[in-house]
Structure 1
Amino acid sequence: MEWFRLSLQLNNFPINRAEILLRQIQEIPENEYQGYVYGQRDSILKFHRENNSFYRQYCKAENCQKWSDVPVMKKSHLQQPLQNRLSNGFNNRKKTYVGKTSGSSGHPFIFAKDRFAHALSWAGFNDRYKWHGIDLNKSLQARFYGIPLDFYGNFQERVKDRISLRRRFNIFDLSDKKMEQFLKRFERSPFEYINGYTSAILMFARFLQGQNLVLKEICPTLKICIVTSERLFENDKMLMEQALGVPVVNEYGASEVGLIAFENASNEWILNSEDLYVEILDEENNILPAGREGRVVVTSLYNKAHPMIRYDIGDTGVLSEEGTLKRPKLQKLIGRTNDIAHLADGKVVPGLTFYYVTKTIIADTGSIKEFIIIQTALDAFKIEYVSDKEFTAGQVEKILAAIEKYVGKNLQVTFIRKAILKRSKSGKLKQFTSLI
């Protein structure tokens, strides 16, 4: 049974049609590829100008005579009710996939993709995973992610995991006791690959190293480890590969646009050129040549439900001079990193756990612009945020309840509303920082 394909079909995502188109795109010769990319790029721009009132106001025709004139979209531009941003004909939820960004960059918002564009994204993921002998229809995944703890959300994710051949390793608690439980699951299950947050898998690798264990020897079916959402440093990669006993590869993506780049067996980051158009821009929005460091800007070539055109993803990167338009390579990525929270009771929590906390305050209003969370002591945190108005007592109560559920009890939380939040030298806003 092809569970991955079946799950998409049952949810009305046309995966068969998406896979056919993906193969057709990949068969386009290199000398014809510029015509494909530029043609599809101009086509999606024309579609949204004609069918999306939000984008028509944003990108006025008289100001966008050539591609370099098309304005760059930032996450702050999308922090308004989703209904205002949908294209004609896509107001019906049956025609769209709606999701929330993680807020790991500090800019949460709700987005939409039409069902074909979403299916095309998944076709791309499956194609890349096959580079490493992984088939989403058949391969069992050890999934190092968080999970909603409310009954409905938890049940929904468990069902998705079962259908999608994923077994969840809850990363809200990464104590040694939990690591021992993880190890026992690997002993009895034929996992083919690990997928999840870099920091959580790294902590598991350090646990294995401390026990003088190699995971591949315990779980012989294991082939690969795929890390995502956080930056992977080279020395950490070496440690993980030694402890896990399998190659570790980078996946770079964003929920609102899908897969951006994936690492092949030659340690090259191959950019997704089939359904995305990726540019590197300077601070004045000028297009930079390969070899120059700048902002990663992405255009979704097939998403008709919602414009993602020249969208600033919030990261900094460098294109390789060895790449081509059909096979572009990412030479360097300055991505998101997250600290680890250590609590007074010995519990260890990855910084990305706070994604599940911040989900409780991401409302489809656009009122909350930015936020960061800082740990100041073993039992103390402060949440700094930019918003149109102070948090209400009800919002504070929801956040405190979420922190107690996902992080721990008896924690002191201070809320500070600010006009602007402090950024790093690169301009990034780090969602979680520990000062202890």
Structure 2
Amino acid sequence: MNWFDFTLKLKGFPIEEAKVHLDKIQAIPEENYADYIEAKKQEILEFHLQHNSFYKNLVIDKKIEKWEDLPILTKKDLQQPLQDRLSEGYSTKNVYINKTSGSSGHPFVFAKDKFSHALTWSVIFNRFGWFGLDFNSSFQARFYGIPLDKFGYYKERLKDKMATRYRFPIFNLNDEKLKGFLAEFYKKKFNYINGYTSSIELFAKYLRKKNIILKDVCPTLKVCIVTSEMLFPETKKLLENQFGIPVVNEYGASELDLLAFQNPKDEWVLNNESLYIEVVNKNNQPLPYGSEGKIIVTSLYNKAHPFIRYELGDLGVISEKSTAKHQFLQKLTGRTNDVAKLPSGKIVPGLTFYYVTKSIIEDGSEVKEFVIKQKEKDTFEITYVSSEEISAEKENEIKASIEKYLEKGLTLQLNRVDVLKRKKSGKLKQFESLI
């Protein structure tokens, strides 16, 4: 029995109808695809202008002559009661409701109408199918967080069983725990790995230390799909070497859809079936392909709740080789609020610190993972997990690297811990500015 599809139907999500609709979208020829996008943009805009008082109030005093005149919807705008944001005909009883993780600093509750949510799952099914995976039958090794209260824990375990997956809790990832993880791969016929990048990276480092290739242990493995955290090129190489399978980068947002997914050609394909994705500058003006800016997303099908020109909080670049039907994310450079402001006035993406430090701090050392916090304009703290303190020589190398790529005169504090504190979801925030 197709348990995953059955569970969606049981909850009222018309998954079969959504699959058929996605097939129709994907069958639209390239020469007609721009017209499809324009028609859906106008349709969803007109719907919310007519049936959603929350959205009408956002645009009521604005002069709107073209799409680009529409206001940018921010997470802060959405931090008000959900009932006040729902469209006519929708209530908390007939929509899908969830909440964002709060990684942007602005958590909120959101809603999607049931067809829109079913279409989200249809897109996910389609992308995973590129690698021969089926949610109804493929067995997932899931590296995610899990509720720690008794009711939440067993509820999630039951959901995992229904969804053909086995969960590896990631709040404590010492060698003893990772040894237990590995034991499950000897016993179970997993088809793929899915979860947070940092946790899966720790497992790969454990395998490297033990000189083990996971595919040799579990020959049924096909692919590893990482999500929610940055995937650096050297991390991808490590995972592919130790797992012996392709590593795919997924990019999504719970309140929207799957935004981008790497295909077998290693291209990061954008979802422009159910979404319209723009890149804009600091003045919210659209940028051409190849330019870096803020990622702005419109949900083309969610009638229950408006997500029109919604600022996701990420920075990225859409590739110049993109067309109306086939769009590619060239790179994702981090969150708009994760920037470091330096004493000189220079502003750099916070992950620059993480990136320039990563190769040095992990090269030939026992460091498993680390995070960086900006405490003052000139003061940065590196908190790391290791069996031993970082040597003075290694610390000097890190300082030299930061001076080279950023600027001189910065203060660096090193703090060794046994376990890094993760969010309730299990995510690890790799850079954070406290100023």
Other-structure match for 1:22: 22
Other-structure match for 1:198: 197
Quick one: distance in 1 between partners of 2:228 and 2:77? 23
SS in 2 for 1:332: strand
Displacement of 1:407: 5.5
SS in 2 for 1:8: helix
Displacement of 1:106: 1.8
TM-score w.r.t. the length of structure 2 is: 0.78
Quick one: distance in 2 between partners of 1:163 and 1:349? 33
Residue 142 (structure 1) aligned with residue 148 (structure 2): no
Other-structure match for 1:12: 12
Quick one: distance in 2 between partners of 1:331 and 1:321? 8
Amino acid paired to 1:56? K
Displacement of 1:204: 0.3
Other-structure match for 1:183: 182
Deviations 1:312-333 (A, max 9, x none): 1110000111111111011111
For residues 375 and 160 of structure 1, do their structure 2 counterparts lie closer, same or farther at Cα, with a shift above 3 Å needed? farther
Residue 127 (structure 1) aligned with residue 158 (structure 2): no
5+ residue gaps in structure 1? 341-345, 352-373, 379-405, 409-429
> Among the aligned pairs, what percent are the same residue?
52
Taking only aligned residues, the RMSD between alpha carbons, in angstroms, comes to 2.5
Amino acid paired to 1:105? S
Other-structure match for 1:365: none
Other-structure match for 1:52: 52
Displacement of 1:189: 0.7
Amino acid paired to 1:145? Y
Amino acid paired to 1:44? I
Quick one: distance in 2 between partners of 1:349 and 1:234? 16
Displacement of 1:434: 10
Amino acid paired to 2:83? Q
Other-structure match for 1:223: 222
For residues 316 and 209 of structure 1, do their structure 2 counterparts lie closer, same or farther at Cα, with a shift above 3 Å needed? same
Displacement of 1:52: 0.7
Quick one: distance in 1 between partners of 2:294 and 2:62? 26
> Could you say which structure has the larger radius of gyration?
2
Displacement of 1:92: 3.8
Other-structure match for 1:287: 286
Moved more, 250-259 or 62-71: 62-71
Assess if the C-alpha contact under 8 Å between 2:370 and 2:384 holds in 1: no
Assess if the C-alpha contact under 8 Å between 1:230 and 1:335 holds in 2: no
SS in 2 for 1:169: strand
Other-structure match for 1:84: 84
For residues 169 and 434 of structure 1, do their structure 2 counterparts lie closer, same or farther at Cα, with a shift above 3 Å needed? farther
Assess if the C-alpha contact under 8 Å between 2:76 and 2:106 holds in 1: yes
Assess if the C-alpha contact under 8 Å between 1:140 and 1:165 holds in 2: yes
Displacement of 1:61: 7.7
Please list, as runs of the form range in 1=range in 2, the aligned pairs for 1:227-242 lying within 5 A after superposition: 227-242=226-241
SS in 2 for 1:184: helix
Deviations 1:132-169 (A, max 9, x none): 11111110000000011112222221121111111100
SS in 2 for 1:135: coil
Moved more, 95-104 or 208-217: 95-104
Other-structure match for 1:250: 249
Assess if the C-alpha contact under 8 Å between 1:139 and 1:193 holds in 2: yes
Assess if the C-alpha contact under 8 Å between 1:106 and 1:431 holds in 2: no
Residue 42 (structure 1) aligned with residue 42 (structure 2): yes
Please list, as runs of the form range in 1=range in 2, the aligned pairs for 1:34-433 lying within 5 A after superposition: 34-60=34-60, 63-93=63-93, 95-335=94-334, 433=432
For residues 350 and 276 of structure 1, do their structure 2 counterparts lie closer, same or farther at Cα, with a shift above 3 Å needed? farther
Deviations 1:193-221 (A, max 9, x none): 00000000000000000000000000000
Other-structure match for 1:420: none
Assess if the C-alpha contact under 8 Å between 1:254 and 1:260 holds in 2: yes
Deviations 1:212-237 (A, max 9, x none): 00000000000000000001000111
Amino acid paired to 1:68? E
Quick one: distance in 2 between partners of 1:19 and 1:66? 32
Deviations 1:20-55 (A, max 9, x none): 100000000111111111100110011111111110
Alignment length, in residue pairs?
A: 359
For residues 323 and 377 of structure 1, do their structure 2 counterparts lie closer, same or farther at Cα, with a shift above 3 Å needed? closer
Assess if the C-alpha contact under 8 Å between 2:370 and 2:382 holds in 1: no
Displacement of 1:375: 8.6
Quick one: distance in 2 between partners of 1:114 and 1:350? 40
Quick one: distance in 2 between partners of 1:16 and 1:277? 23
Q: Which has the higher contact order (CA 8 A, sep 6+)?
A: 1
Assess if the C-alpha contact under 8 Å between 2:295 and 2:312 holds in 1: yes
SS in 1 for 2:307: coil
Displacement of 1:431: 7.9
Displacement of 1:56: 0.4
Assess if the C-alpha contact under 8 Å between 2:202 and 2:369 holds in 1: no
Assess if the C-alpha contact under 8 Å between 2:13 and 2:114 holds in 1: yes
Quick one: distance in 2 between partners of 1:202 and 1:232? 10
Quick one: distance in 2 between partners of 1:376 and 1:211? 25
Quick one: distance in 2 between partners of 1:23 and 1:250? 23
Assess if the C-alpha contact under 8 Å between 1:172 and 1:350 holds in 2: no
Amino acid paired to 1:99? N
SS in 2 for 1:63: coil
Amino acid paired to 2:316? G
For residues 62 and 315 of structure 1, do their structure 2 counterparts lie closer, same or farther at Cα, with a shift above 3 Å needed? closer
For residues 273 and 163 of structure 1, do their structure 2 counterparts lie closer, same or farther at Cα, with a shift above 3 Å needed? same
